[in-house]
Structure 1
Amino acid sequence: MGNNKDKNGVTGRRKFLKLGIMSGATAVAGTSLISSFASEAEEKTSGEKIRLLTPDGKIVEVDADNINKYPEAHITPAESRKGIPNRKFVMVIDLAKCKNARKCVESCQKAHQLDYHEEFMKVQLIQDNEEASPYWFPKPCFHCDEPPCVTVCPTGATFKRDDGIVLIDNDRCIGCKFCITSCPYSARQFNWGHKEKFDRTDQPYSPETSIPAAEGTVMKCDFCPDLLRQGKLPHCAKSCPMGVIYFGDKNEDIVTNGDETVRFSELIRDRGGYRHLEHLGTKPNVYYLPAVERQFPLERGFDVDEEIIERYNDVPYVQELKKKGKI
């Protein structure tokens, strides 16, 4: 699992490839080329080259104009239910890299126009027992293959797409909260009253952006499908400075955190990947890599507002640190 390098030998963060499969006419040496995710760099112009990862792990260069790109167009609620063809999106979170920088939380809040207390991505502190060391635990919606939230929704507001993403259409949501009570991961929240400064009137509503939000409806992490259609990583993944969050396509068996692009199956197999609360049978599409050989001391994660630290009061380790006056 090596990092992709730019031509100067320096890791090019997020300099990745447009989402989409190359057509047979542009295949190199008879090999079907599969791209990963695009960067936020300038759009490729005619004559430029772009590097692609082939199914056998080789890097090749092709004309940028030959890459199939999804359009940056408004997706209606009806279109949002179809999903992106031939995709099965998956997220992998490396707990060994997380230091509670909270950039994933903040970028998600900004993109979805949430206020300080509304979090689609939550960073919890978990201590499995008093003898074990605690670890930071980013928790989005798990976009389950067997989502109980979809089953209990009486209006079809919550739906699952063929690409694995579970979305909410707040045009249909009646605020009954059945989905909130059925979610075993507490991934959903009720919009009791959205502040005016976060509401947008310059664009039509789409479940793929979750904005503008509607008071009296349910909200949650949406995997940023509007960005996926553009071949870009979700906001949480591209904003994490530690490369904690990998995202990609299970069908292609490729995920990336913006610094490295790796085989999903190899990453899960070699690093002991697991799914949270596997025994519930919801079959989530978010995987975790265990917090072993961690890269940062846990205490770095306490450089946050006191209000956030209070969330961790039930963790034994935090109680010990407070008694010693360390936090």
Structure 2
Amino acid sequence: MGDNSKKERRKFLDKGLKLGIAAAIGGLGISKITSKLNAKTNDHSSGEKMELMTVDGTLIEVDSSEVMEVQHAEDHDQKYNVREGMPNRKFVMVIDLAKCKNALKCQQSCNKHHYITGDNAWLKVYKMQEEKDTAPYWMPTTCMHCDQPACVTVCPVDATFKRKDGLVLIDNERCIGCRFCMAACPYSTRVFNWSEPNQEYTLNMDMVNHQYSPEHGGMPSVKGTVDKCDFCPHQVQNNELPHCVTACPNGVFYFGDKYEDTVNNGEETVRLSKLLEEKAGYRLMDSLGTEPSVYYLPPVDRLVDFEDGLEEYTEFKSVDKPE
């Protein structure tokens, strides 16, 4: 009975709504579903019923003939081995708010190596101030790569997935642009490509003919899909730090392996547990149960006074600052 249950679950996960979800997500979703998924056409009812949930949470019962299957390529298992990630690793990031000067070198480097621009930047820096009488500070934000990611739960086509090494990635070839993941993310770190990206950086010619992979960095964005910070898995595979870490001139970002209890900011390697304990590290909205893989160190004992922008970095203005 257990095997039958697993087969039925697999069967359900390999199916998508033909009209229900498409109608809910609008014209873009309809066109993307039609182009990416091959529908089965049935002239007669199969007599087999399936229970599905609509986007508003209502349970409905439909004939299985009204549901279309996702047609996997013959190399499906090989193609999606990137979903497993690196064994026996758990990648984490620590952001030291006391060191951030809003230099935006992190954002510039991320944009350059992922061919993204403007408001679609994966890494954003915000001016934060709890009250008018409290001191302001700069706060970089990235995808939190949660251990319990809400974005993965709501994706209707399994485009967003969680790897065993802690990374949450997006398969843009499966993404239908419904933006359910954006609505579910409590950190608002995802961006949507409404149009063909304006790639201001010259593409590396080696990338032009490179076969797409969700973990291969440096690929241009795709219109009608969702993007976000990916922790630079192409760098991590080569035992290198993410681009934001190495680009930051102030050592704001630390990256490492939680299992090894070490993180590095490009200049020093420190114990993760000791750093979090001594600096009172915390995670954003931890009470939600998302279990983020990004930790913050509070903006105390700052290395520099807060400045509302630095003249030498005016070329890379923060996205929330008016032009």
Answer yes or no: same fold by TM over 0.5: yes
Aligned ranges for residues 63-82 of structure 1 at < 5 Å? 77-82=79-84
Which of 185, 202, 206 aligns to 2:209? It is 202
1:42 match: none
1:319 match: none
- Give CA deviations for 1:140-180 in whole Å, capped at 9, x if unaligned: 00000110000000000000000000000011100000000
1:5 match: none
Structure 1 pair 192–228 and aligned structure 2 pair: CA distance change class (3 A): same
The answer to whether residue 118 in structure 2 is matched with residue 119 in structure 1 is no
2:221 match: 213
Structure 1 pair 189–133 and aligned structure 2 pair: CA distance change class (3 A): same
Q: Give distance in 2, aligned partners of 1:298 and 1:271.
A: 19
1:147 match: 149
Which of 102, 107, 128 aligns to 2:130? It is 128
Check conservation: 2:102, 2:309, Cα contact below 8 A. Answer: yes
The answer to whether residue 140 in structure 2 is matched with residue 109 in structure 1 is no
Alpha-carbon distance, 1:204 to partner: 1.5
Q: Give the alignment's TM-score, normalised by structure 2.
A: 0.70
Structure 1 pair 265–137 and aligned structure 2 pair: CA distance change class (3 A): same
Q: Give distance in 1, aligned partners of 2:209 and 2:226.
A: 22
Q: Give distance in 2, aligned partners of 1:216 and 1:273.
A: 37
The one-letter code matched in structure 2 to 1:94 is D
- Give CA deviations for 1:80-108 in whole Å, capped at 9, x if unaligned: 10101110000000111100010110000
Structure 1 pair 269–118 and aligned structure 2 pair: CA distance change class (3 A): same
Alpha-carbon distance, 1:235 to partner: 0.4
Alpha-carbon distance, 1:205 to partner: 1.2
Which of 299, 303, 311 aligns to 2:320? It is 311
Alpha-carbon distance, 1:264 to partner: 0.3
Alpha-carbon distance, 1:311 to partner: 2.2
Q: Give distance in 1, aligned partners of 2:317 and 2:288.
A: 29
1:297 match: 305
Aligned ranges for residues 1-327 of structure 1 at < 5 Å? 77-195=79-197, 197=199, 201-210=208-217, 211-299=219-307, 301-303=309-311, 305=314, 308=317, 311-312=320-321
Check conservation: 2:282, 2:295, Cα contact below 8 A. Answer: yes
Check conservation: 2:97, 2:296, Cα contact below 8 A. Answer: yes
Q: Give distance in 2, aligned partners of 1:253 and 1:299.
A: 33
* Partner SS for 2:140: strand
- Give CA deviations for 1:172-225 in whole Å, capped at 9, x if unaligned: 100000000111111101011233646752311111135232110000000001
Structure 1 pair 310–146 and aligned structure 2 pair: CA distance change class (3 A): closer
Structure 1 pair 196–290 and aligned structure 2 pair: CA distance change class (3 A): closer
Q: Give distance in 2, aligned partners of 1:219 and 1:212.
A: 10
The one-letter code matched in structure 1 to 2:320 is R
Report how many aligned residue pairs link the two structures.
239
The one-letter code matched in structure 2 to 1:217 is T
* Partner SS for 2:320: helix
Tell which structure's C-alpha radius of gyration is larger: 2
Q: Percent identity?
A: 53
* Partner SS for 1:246: strand
Structure 2 residue runs of 5 or longer lacking an equivalent are 1-77
